[in-house]
Amino acid sequence: MMSAVQERTGCGGGLEAALQVWALVQSCPEPGLAILAVGKRDISYDWAMPTPLLLCPRGTRALQTAPADWRITQLNDQHAYLHGSGPEHADLQVGDRVCLGISHPCTTFDKWRWLPLVDASYNVVDAVATCF
């Protein structure tokens, strides 16, 4: 969404996403599909589906850029359906963490009473009440 605004207005590089939602891989029921433990009760979906940004394998703090072919294709109340076809998707395991970018923060804020604030290394440094 922001890229369209930047293109239309000629303003570039001024805004960055400030909200991400992390989800655990809960199940890998078939090749090319992982079920994430996040859904409509947790994350916005009114403007666009969440976008996979990062992967952090279970038991590590090693962040990897999510493969370009990963897509959230469906949300239900408590699950997201992550589809992908590359070798990275085949390596997903239960307990891996996936960072999701969102298109519209307001409808994520209203789902949480508070949000953790993190530093560049994802250490929690504070928390804010949303009061939405």
pLDDT tens column, 39-77:
999 998 888 899 999 999 999 999 999 999 999 999 999
Q: What is the mean pLDDT of the chain?
A: 88
How many residues are listed for the chain in this entry? Answer: 132
What is d(CA 63, CA 86) in angstroms, rounded to the nearest whole number? 18
pLDDT of residue 14: 65
pLDDT of residue 91: 85
What is d(CA 81, CA 106) in angstroms, rounded to the nearest whole number? 22
pLDDT of residue 2: 62
pLDDT of residue 1: 59
Place of tokens 């922001």: 2
Low-confidence spans in the chain with pLDDT less than 50:
none
CA distances from 130 to 9, 29, 45, 50, 53 (A): 30, 35, 19, 20, 24
pTM over 0.85: no
pLDDT of residue 13: 65
Task: Give the pair of three-digit tokens for residue 36.
Answer: 């994430």
pLDDT of residue 21: 94
Q: Please state which CATH number belongs to domain 17-129.
A: 2.40.37.20
